[in-house]
Structure 1
C-alpha cells in the first residue's frame, strides 16, 4: 500500500517524464519547422535530431538537402545524388554518390545502380563493380554484356528473361520455313537490335510468309573476334568456331551483328553493325538469294563479274554480246567490262537501302526462291570451303554449294 508521500512522488515522476517526452517532440517539431523556413539553420537543427532528419531527407526541399550534402552529411550526399539523377543530372550527381555509396546498404546501392543504368552510365557502373559495391542482379548482368563478357559468365535466368540464348543447345530449326537463320552478336546492343529486326520482319515477311525464320539472338561475347573499324566492312574470324562448335542442324544462314563496320554478305553470313536500320537488313537479306547491288560495285568484283554474260543475278544482266531483257535499263553496277542492266529505271532497295521493297523486286525475289533447283550458298558451304579437311558438313543439312 502506497503512502501519500510515495504516491505524490510517483505522480511527479510520471508528469516529469511526460513533460520531457512532450518537450522533446515539441523541440523536434520546432527544429523541422525552423529548418524548412531557414536553410542556413539546417546544420544546427540536423545535428540536434540526426535520426529524425535522416528519416525525412527525401522530404527536404532542394536547398536544405543540398546544404547537408555540401557539409558532407553522408546520407544527405546520397539522397542528393539520387535526386539529381532523377532530374537527369548524372554528371552533377557523381561526386555526391561516390563520396557516400560505400556507407549505403544493398537496397540503396541497387537504387543507385538502376538509375545509372537508365542513363547508360557504364563507366560509373564499372566503378561500382570495381569497388565491389554493385549488387548482383539485372544491372550487373547488363554490365557484363556491355563489356562483351564470356557467355559462361552470364546468368541463365537473366538470359531467359531478356529473350536471348547463351549457346546452341536449345536451338531447333523450323521445318515450315524455307530458310532458317541463326541470329548472333558479340555485344549488348546487338541483342536488342536483332530482336527488333526479326520482330519487324515477322510483321511483314518478305518475299512471302515462312520464307525466313530467325532464331532468338545468340550471345557470343568475347568468344569471337570481330574487327572494330567503323570505316571498313564488318568481319569476324569464324575459324575457331568451325572447329570448336557443334552447330545445330537445319540452319541455312547466319546474321552476325557487330559493334562497327559496314553491312555485307559473304558465304551465307550477313554482317551488320548494331546501328543498322531495317532497310539495310532487308537489302542484305536479298543478297542471301543472289541479288546484286545496283550502285557501283567494288573494282575487284567488277573484274570478274562484269565480264560474264547474261543473267548473273535476279536483278543484274551483263550484256556481253547479248541483248538485255525487254524493259531493262542500264545499271551503275559495272563501270568496266560489259554494260550491266537492271529490271527498272526506278531506284530500288538494291541501290538505296532506305527505299521500300517494290512489288516488282518482291516478285523477282519470289521467283528466285521458287526455282526448282535453286540452292543458295549456305554458311555450312562457306565453312567447308574454309576448312575442307574437317568433317563439318555431317553436323549440318547437306546442301550443294551454289555457283
Structure 2
C-alpha cells in the first residue's frame, strides 16, 4: 500500500502543469516596456541604437526632449550627419570664431546643447565675433577620448578619426565633450568633460583668444608664458602708467611679475566668479580681429599628420589653416 501511495504522489508531482516548465513558458506573455525617454536613453547607452531610436519614434513627440534625441540619433543611425549639417544656414562672415560642438555620448549631447544655448543668451559676450553652429556634431563611434596620464589628466581625443569625418564641414574651432578629464585648450580645440560648467566653458573660450590664466602657473608653464611681453588680459612688465593695473598671480613661480587690468578677481583666475571686466571684453574683441591670435582647429590636425609623416593630409589641413588666416 505504501508503494502504491508513493507511486501516486510521484506521478502527480511530475505531471502537474504548475511544475511543467513548458506549460509555464506557454502561459507567459512577453511584457513590452512602456516607451519612455529614460528607457530609450538606456538602450542607446547599451549600443542598442535601432531599438532606442524606434522607441523614441513611438513616443512621437518631435517638439519635446524625446524629439531632440530622436533627431540626433536618427542622423547617426542613418549616416546622414554631414548631409544634415550641410543643409543648415551658414554662419555670418563677421564671425571670427565659428564653433562646432562635438559630442559622442548621450550625456555629452545634452551638456553641449545646454552650453550652446547659454552661450547664445549670454549678454556679456554679445559684442564678441563668436558664433556657434545650431547643430551639434554627434557620433558615438567617432568621438573617442581619454584622460591622458602623461599630461596631468588632460583630455585628448582620436584626432585622425575625427578629422576624416569633419573634413567637409565649415568651422574654425571645435569644442569636444568627453566623459572625464581636465578641461583644456590646445590651439583650436577645446576639450571639456561632463562635469564642466558653463563658467568653465567661458574661461576656456577666452584661451582661444590668447588669454592667460591668472592663477599661479606651474614653474614649467610659467617659464614659457611669463617671458612674453603681454597677453590680452595681462602684462608681464609694469609700464609707467600703471594706475589701473594690479598684480596677478600668474607668474608666482617665475621671477617676472604679471599685472592685470582689474582690481577684482576675474573669470580667468576663478571661473566660477564669472566676472569679466569691460576692459577684458575690449581686449578679447580686439584679439579676435587678428586670426593669428586664435589658431584654428585646422592647425591641430595639420600638426598631428606632420608628426606622423602623412604629407597629403598635413598639406590639406595646412591649406585650410592658411585660408582661415586670410578670411
TM-score (norm: length of structure 1)? 0.58
State whether structure 2 residue 30 is matched by structure 1 residue 104.
Answer: yes
Q: Which residue of 1 aligns with 2:144?
A: 225
| Whole-Å separation in 2 of the counterparts to 1:294 and 1:350 | 5
State whether structure 2 residue 130 is matched by structure 1 residue 212.
Answer: yes
Q: Which residue of 1 aligns with 2:267?
A: 349
Q: Which residue of 2 aligns with 1:63?
A: none
Q: Which residue of 2 aligns with 1:263?
A: 183
8 Å contact 2:45–2:106 — kept in the other structure? no
Residue 296 of structure 1 aligns to a residue whose secondary structure is coil
Aligned residues: 275
Deviation at 1:349, TM superposition (A): 0.3
Q: Which residue of 2 aligns with 1:168?
A: 82
Residue 295 of structure 1 aligns to a residue whose secondary structure is coil
Residue 81 of structure 2 aligns to a residue whose secondary structure is coil
8 Å contact 1:166–1:220 — kept in the other structure? no
State whether structure 2 residue 312 is matched by structure 1 residue 392.
Answer: no
Deviation at 1:236, TM superposition (A): 1.0
Residue 345 of structure 1 aligns to a residue whose secondary structure is coil
Q: Which residue of 2 aligns with 1:305?
A: 225
Going from structure 1 to structure 2, the CA distance change for 1:400 and 1:225 (only over 3 Å counts) comes to same
2:249 pairs, out of 323, 328, 332, with 332
Q: What pairs with 1:287-302 in structure 2 (closer than 5 Å)? A: 287-302=207-222
Going from structure 1 to structure 2, the CA distance change for 1:316 and 1:395 (only over 3 Å counts) comes to closer
| Whole-Å separation in 1 of the counterparts to 2:180 and 2:207 | 20
8 Å contact 1:247–1:396 — kept in the other structure? no
Q: What pairs with 1:4-403 in structure 2 (closer than 5 Å)? A: 103-105=29-31, 109-111=32-34, 114=36, 117=39, 122=42, 136-138=54-56, 158-159=70-71, 167-169=81-83, 170-171=85-86, 173-175=90-92, 176-209=94-127, 211-215=129-133, 216-228=135-147, 232-242=153-163, 245-249=166-170, 251-308=171-228, 310-311=229-230, 313-319=231-237, 325-334=242-251, 335-360=253-278, 361-370=280-289, 375-388=293-306, 389=311, 390=313, 391-393=315-317, 394=319, 398-400=323-325
| Whole-Å separation in 2 of the counterparts to 1:326 and 1:340 | 15
Going from structure 1 to structure 2, the CA distance change for 1:232 and 1:134 (only over 3 Å counts) comes to closer
| Whole-Å separation in 1 of the counterparts to 2:75 and 2:243 | 49
Deviation at 1:384, TM superposition (A): 1.7
Residue 344 of structure 1 aligns to a residue whose secondary structure is coil
Contiguous gaps of at least 5 residues in structure 1 = 1-70, 72-98, 141-155
Deviation at 1:325, TM superposition (A): 4.1
Larger C-alpha radius of gyration, 1 or 2?
1
Structure with the bigger RCO (C-alpha within 8 Å, sep 6+) is 2
Contiguous gaps of at least 5 residues in structure 2 = 1-17, 19-24, 59-67
Using the TM superposition, name which of 353-362 and 184-193 deviates more.
353-362
Going from structure 1 to structure 2, the CA distance change for 1:157 and 1:296 (only over 3 Å counts) comes to closer
TM-score (norm: length of structure 2)? 0.70
| Whole-Å separation in 2 of the counterparts to 1:369 and 1:125 | 39
